[in-house]
Homo-oligomer: A and B are copies of this chain.
Amino acid sequence: MAVNDGLSRLVARARPRHRTTTEFVEATLREAILTGVIAPGTPLRQEELAETFGVSRMPVREALRQLEARALAEFHPHRGAVVAEISAADGADIGAIRMALEPMALRLSLPGLTAADLDQAEELIAEMDGEADPGRMGELNRRFHMTLYARAGRPRLLALTEQHLLAADRYLRFQFAALGYRPRSQDEHRVLLAACRAGDADTACRLVTEHVGQAAEQLTAFLEAREAG
């Protein structure tokens, strides 16, 4: 029943949106892992999951395979899957990938950004200001970044970027769960947006790189301390 706890709530609502059961199971499990509903290292027992989803083991197995390919679950032959662990090394890895992808996405997107896009980004900053719920905060932050990248016209690059934004978010939630959540200043986001409004690609790219880099550094510092202690 360890997994069941928070999961069954997610299961209840989202069913009809998906065309196949596998799709449904995969999407729900992915969200559960990313939002921390299922903790890192938790064994993902097929029978147990099948029961909470109200399906057979087969769609569960297919979903687990997809999660493995996305590095959200680890497979051990004949021993089953576990939720991907959280480690300082992997956190640094995700940070490095973000530092590579996001400036590229921004540079491609910048010329195509509309006034409406920039206004929406502004609104998202306003919403983030003083947001008390860390989960909501993560979502707003992600949407802010993705709004700036949206006009890159590179679906695959954007999907990869969002995937790693989500992975980073998972790490942040984990940190908040351990250290408590304290809302951060939105100054960095504001100057980034200003550079985008000015159409200054070089500055904007430098700012996201720094922004992402700093976030990754803080995170790995916490994770390394935790692994040492």
Contact = CB atoms under 8 A, between A and B. Distances in A.
Interface stretch (A41-49, A91-99, A121-129, A134-142): A91-99
A69 B64 CA distance: 11
Nearest to A101: B100
Contacts of A152: 96
Contacts of A61: 62
A154 interface: yes
The secondary structure that dominates the A interface is helix
Contact of A103 (B69, B90, B100): B100
A27 to B, nearest CB: 13
Given A69-B69, A100-B101, A93 B155 contact: yes
Contacts of A19: 77
A131 interface: no
Contacts of A23: 77
Interface in A152-197: 152, 154-157, 160
Interface of A: 19-20, 22-23, 61-62, 65-66, 68-71, 77-78, 89-90, 92-94, 96-97, 99-101, 103-105, 108, 152, 154-157, 160
13 contacts: A22-B65, A62-B65, A66-B66, A71-B156, A92-B154, A96-B152, A96-B154, A97-B101, A97-B157, A99-B104, A100-B104, A100-B157, A160-B160
